[in-house]
């Protein structure tokens, strides 16, 4: 099969096209003919390399996948060849206490396709059968590939961790990112008032279309002062952060008493100084979040089929333009996801 592989860490030039043997299918596995995948920041980090993180090279990147079932192992019963499906990105052991209690992303053996094992930037992908979810006819392959990781991440941050409630004010940093565009929609769906931050008027208009009540242009306005003004000095109930260092202090100071800061990443820096006086005096909760439970994908896909949530696609490109797709995401010029059609 034809695939994209990374043989050494570095720039987009390290994304090479290779012909490799088709992956075999075990008894409890499914082989999917990939029709669409998408670019996440994880793909950028896998390509560049991260200090202290070992990526098994060469590796096929790509965390999100949607396509058609090609082959099923003899132990798989819930899908059949020809079924339209999407792939849950996280693979866990399936038998530990965390997995059996439905918290598979807390499993000690939890890994992501495209980071710890070959991913979706290929014609074929093999994963355990439990990671295969049927796709409703209302959802395109491109939408499924664009939504999977980012909506699952944003759902856990807002619904599970922060327990968002109607009438609350939610600040979403980086509205143009995949997680940001998903978080705006989820918060709005749950009846919250959303204040989004972004870099341009074009992105601000798009954030408003997704449900943001107000938008702050962080390169033109004082973000903290704007949050205070927009909340009559009260502060936000929830802050959703995947940016890291540049917004950490703003996020803590911008919360109201009893507020919740949820972080899922550090795309702009991971070293952050915390003034603990704000944390204990305002009784803040600082919550870490990674991915989400596979079962929540069923809720998300159901809401997508009902058109209550939608994938935000900046561009869809052929797999052959994977380097350009990485460039777009790395530059931050996109609003939403960049999809690759296989």
Residues 128 and 214 in one domain: no
pTM > 0.75: yes
Q: DSSP per residue over 147-184, as a string?
A: HHHHHHHHHIIIIIIS---TT-EEEES-TTSHHHHHHH
Residues 212 and 238 in one domain: yes
Contact 125, 113 (CB under 8 A): yes
**Beta pairing partners, 169:** 193
In the chain, which ranges are continuous DSSP H helix?
Answer: 41-48, 97-100, 141-155, 178-189, 201-210, 223-230, 245-253, 276-281, 294-305, 322-331
Q: Mark the ranges of the chain whose per-residue pLDDT is less than 70.
A: none
pLDDT at position 52, please? 81
pLDDT at position 198, please? 97
Domain ranges, residue 237? 152-288
Residues 273 and 231 in one domain: yes
Q: Beta strands 337-341 and 285-288: pairing type?
A: unpaired
What is the per-residue pLDDT across 100-136, written as a single tens digit (0 to 9) for each?
999 999 999 999 999 999 999 999 999 999 999 999 9
pLDDT at position 225, please? 98
Residues 16 and 104 in one domain: yes
pLDDT at position 53, please? 84
For residue 85, give the CATH number of its domain: 3.90.180.10
Residues 156 and 126 in one domain: no
State the total domains in the chain.
2
Question: Looking at the domain assignment, is residue 141 inside a domain?
Answer: no
What is the per-residue pLDDT across 205-261, written as a single tens digit (0 to 9) for each?
999 999 999 999 999 999 999 999 999 999 999 999 999 999 999 999 999 999 999
Residues 163 and 273 in one domain: yes
Q: DSSP per residue over 59-88, as a string?
A: B---S--EEEEEEE-TT--S--TT-EEEE-
pLDDT at position 51, please? 81
Q: Which two tokens stand for residue 141?
A: 């392959």
pLDDT at position 19, please? 97
Residues 278 and 332 in one domain: no
pLDDT at position 50, please? 83
The set of residues, in sequence order, having a beta carbon less than 8 Å from that of 266 and lying 6+ positions away, is 242, 243, 244, 245
pLDDT at position 207, please? 98
């Amino acid at each position: 099969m034809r695939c994209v592989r990374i043989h050494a860490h570095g720039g987009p030039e390290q994304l090479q096209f290779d012909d490799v043997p088709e992956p075999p299918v075990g008894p409890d596995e499914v082989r999917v003919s990939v029709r669409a995948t998408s670019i996440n920041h994880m793909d950028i980090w896998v390509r560049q390399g991260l200090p202290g993180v070992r990526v098994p090279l060469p590796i096929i990147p790509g965390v999100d996948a949607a396509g058609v079932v090609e082959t099923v192992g003899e132990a798989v019963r819930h899908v059949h060849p020809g079924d339209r499906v999407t792939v849950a990105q996280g693979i866990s052991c399936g038998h530990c206490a965390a997995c059996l209690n439905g918290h598979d992303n807390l499993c000690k053996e939890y890994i992501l396709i495209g980071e710890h094992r070959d991913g979706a930037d290929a014609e074929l992908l093999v994963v355990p059968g439990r990671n295969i979810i049927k796709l409703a006819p209302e959802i395109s392959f491109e939408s499924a590939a664009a939504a999977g990781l980012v909506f699952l991440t944003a759902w856990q941050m807002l619904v599970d961790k922060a327990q968002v409630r109607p009438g609350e004010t939610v600040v979403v940093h980086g509205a143009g990112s995949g997680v940001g565009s998903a978080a705006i929609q989820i918060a709005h769906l749950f009846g919250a008032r959303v204040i989004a931050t972004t870099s341009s008027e074009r992105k601000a208009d798009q954030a408003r279309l997704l449900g943001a009540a107000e938008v702050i242009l962080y390169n033109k306005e004082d973000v903290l002062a704007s949050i205070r003004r927009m909340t009559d000095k009260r502060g936000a109930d929830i802050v959703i952060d995947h940016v890291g260092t540049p917004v950490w202090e703003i996020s803590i100071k911008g919360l109201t008493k009893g507020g919740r800061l949820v972080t899922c990443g550090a795309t702009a820096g991971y070293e952050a100084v915390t003034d603990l006086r704000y944390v204990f005096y305002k009784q803040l909760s600082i919550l870490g979040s990674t991915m989400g439970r596979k079962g929540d994908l069923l809720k998300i896909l159901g809401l997508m089929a009902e058109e209550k949530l939608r994938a935000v696609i900046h561009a869809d490109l052929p797999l052959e333009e994977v380097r350009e797709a990485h460039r777009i995401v790395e530059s931050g010029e996109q609003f939403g996801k960049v999809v690759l059609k296989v």
